[in-house]
Structure 1
């Protein structure tokens, strides 16, 4: 009956990890008392980008914006070159600083530097204070809980295989397999539900932030969205493209060469 010990281990890991994930998900989804003024105004493109995709999306938007205005060159080879060394806001100045004094750099280190830049951290702090972004601690807790459930799922599978090897075929392995299928099903279902139920923006946006992003996503032509620098869009077509990049990422770019360059070297 040694297999019963394996069963207890599998069930214990499954119950503890799934409970932790549920508690972390509920805590992350709790209303954060959003600032009414922040909830009532339109999002800037940088804010929308952060809520939709985090610091990396903000970097995407800054680079694509500068590329569209011909102040940067983004090569398919994965290099970025400065054309205009004068940034129009703090984030664009961070882009130029990240590229370096030579005015040219591979994309990956530039993106990594942008994700940790002071303007991006300040943006994250403002959105969290306004109740529009999920706090870093909540995201960390959910991520750790998901990893624990995955580990429990693997453990249930391994202990089930070990238990079946311990049971003689003559004794009947069917009931043993059925008992181990339950914690395996529990953990797998929990992971599936977490994946399906998680809103595309939920990693970064709070429920209030998700509502603002939903308005942009559904009604891009009617929602007043400020330009990344804070002013009005120079043209509706360019403004809608940058809005699409902010909300959906570089996959929304119509230029296949630019899209391939960013995707190939940034993993988007």
Structure 2
């Protein structure tokens, strides 16, 4: 009867994962509910779009790329940033210049990390959360993370079921019936994933449902345009993979840098 222990473990794994996903969905809905009065035609700033798409790191990326495109910052393909114009035009740019340091030159990886953790980015995050467009930081129960846990639970149930069926010796129950018992927690996890995909897809670590709707409208306007703001908006939404310039992209993907987009 060892298979019963495996079955109990499968139910625990499936039940906990599905419960955490449900709680994450409820929290996300509560955050989105605070934005019901938001203007659907509101134009996201580049920094707002960057944060909702990729969090603090994406905001740092957009700031660096914007300054580099304006020739106020030199991003070398070797992974170094050099200040050309030390006068930042906004608080994000000033935080980047401050992260580079008084010598005016630094590796890009620590600059990105410092800028992403700076007060301007935290203030931006607080404003987006207050507006119901972003998910509160540190909740640890985002929908995306919940979906990953349920997927892992589905795999765990399959492994536990296969192990139970392969146990040597008599089990006292037909193997077909044992498989049917394990099909129940598997059905729970698969159903939970199906409902999550139908109701709350796409899954986002940073944007609430209201924030995702604004991002969707921004992405629709980005397609087909070719001006500077559109380029930066593409970087904000898609990250450094949207950079088409080989030299600028190499600055972010240099092999000596531990941080990848």
Give the TM-score, by structure 1 length: 0.80
| Match of residue 107 from structure 1 | 108
Q: Which runs of 5+ in 1 are unaligned?
A: 224-235
| Match of residue 20 from structure 1 | 20
CA RMSD after TM alignment: 3.1
Offset, 1:67: 0.5
Q: Aligned match of 2:201 in 189, 198, 201?
A: 198
Q: Which runs of 5+ in 2 are unaligned?
A: none
Q: Give yes or no for contact 1:28–1:139 (8 Å, CA) kept in 2.
A: no
Q: Aligned match of 2:211 in 209, 212, 228?
A: 209
| Match of residue 61 from structure 2 | 60
CA distances 1:131-174 after superposition (whole Å, capped 9, x unpaired): 22122255645465345435534542443344234243898644
Q: Give yes or no for contact 1:131–1:208 (8 Å, CA) kept in 2.
A: yes
| Match of residue 29 from structure 2 | 29
Q: Give yes or no for contact 1:70–1:83 (8 Å, CA) kept in 2.
A: yes
Cα distance between partner residues in 2 of 1:58 and 1:207: 20
Q: Give yes or no for contact 2:52–2:211 (8 Å, CA) kept in 1.
A: yes
Cα distance between partner residues in 2 of 1:141 and 1:240: 29
Cα distance between partner residues in 2 of 1:152 and 1:267: 28
Alignment of 1:151-170 (within 5 A): 152-168=153-169
Offset, 1:22: 2.4
Larger mean CA deviation between 105-114 and 56-65 belongs to 105-114
Equivalenced residue count is: 255
| Match of residue 2 from structure 1 | 2
| Match of residue 230 from structure 1 | none
Cα distance between partner residues in 2 of 1:66 and 1:147: 36
